[in-house]
């Protein structure tokens, strides 16, 4: 047999085998949860570890009810997102019944944050020792710059007017390195979500 013919047959055979393998794998991985939506389950040891950490695993995934498409009340077509020019935001500073590990004993005056967040000028006394220091490093200026002037950050409640919100709990109620509450991702309400709700309720 001619070596060129043999090589061609070999290549065609390999390509055909690969296509059949991919087709079989895709069929096996497909799920009845949605049209063309494939669900890959977690390994048992991963599931056991997450359960041991108190983390819930939800099946089916939330988007399965919409066949894997993005939730959009206007149908399958997702219209361009628009952002209002003026963005009103609220910043809440939280005080715990215990000091966060590594944190300062005394809290900063909130007037620092009034300017740092919502002013166009931030020039605290500590900067006086540095000649020609920048005085425009604020959150408001940042969003003005990165949005090319399209977004203006404002607030109706300056941090000084709100003061420190008393959470009523120690810091490690929400966040501690115990394998469950690490980085504030423990089960509700002892997590960041619970902290936000407690702060807003205050």
The confidence band for 181, taking pLDDT boundaries of 50, 70 and 90, is confident
Tell me the average pLDDT across 65-80: 57
Task: Tell me which residue of 83, 80, 82, 90 sits closest to 152, measured CA to CA.
Answer: 83
pTM exceeds 0.85:
no
Task: Tell me which residue of 46, 92, 50 sits closest to 200, measured CA to CA.
Answer: 92
By mean pLDDT, which of 29-38, 76-85, 141-150, 166-175 is the weakest?
29-38
Q: What pLDDT does residue 75 have? A: 57
Mean pLDDT of the chain: 77
Residue 64 has pLDDT above 70, yes or no: no
- Residue 93 CA, chain-centre distance (Å), reads 20
Three-state SS for 64?
Answer: helix
R_g (Cα) of the chain, nearest Å: 28
């Amino acid at each position: 047999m001619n070596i060129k013919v043999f090589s061609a047959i070999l290549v065609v055979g390999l390509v055909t085998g690969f296509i059949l393998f991919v087709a079989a794998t895709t069929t096996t991985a497909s799920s009845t949860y949605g049209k063309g939506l494939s669900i890959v389950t977690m390994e048992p040891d991963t599931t056991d570890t997450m359960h041991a950490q108190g983390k819930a695993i939800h099946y089916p995934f939330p988007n399965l009810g919409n066949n894997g498409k993005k939730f959009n009340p206007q149908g399958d077509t997702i219209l361009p997102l628009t952002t209002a020019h003026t963005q009103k935001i609220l910043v809440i500073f939280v005080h715990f019944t215990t000091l966060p590990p590594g944190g300062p004993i005394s809290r900063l005056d909130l007037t620092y944050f009034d300017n740092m967040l919502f002013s166009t000028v931030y020039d605290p006394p500590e900067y006086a020792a540095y000649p020609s220091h920048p005085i425009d490093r604020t959150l408001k200026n940042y969003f003005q710059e990165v949005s090319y002037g399209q977004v203006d950050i404002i607030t109706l409640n300056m941090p000084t007017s709100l003061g420190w919100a008393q959470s009523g709990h120690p810091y490690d109620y929400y966040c501690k390195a115990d394998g469950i509450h690490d980085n504030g991702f423990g089960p509700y309400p002892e997590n960041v979500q619970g902290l936000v709700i407690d702060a807003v309720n205050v």
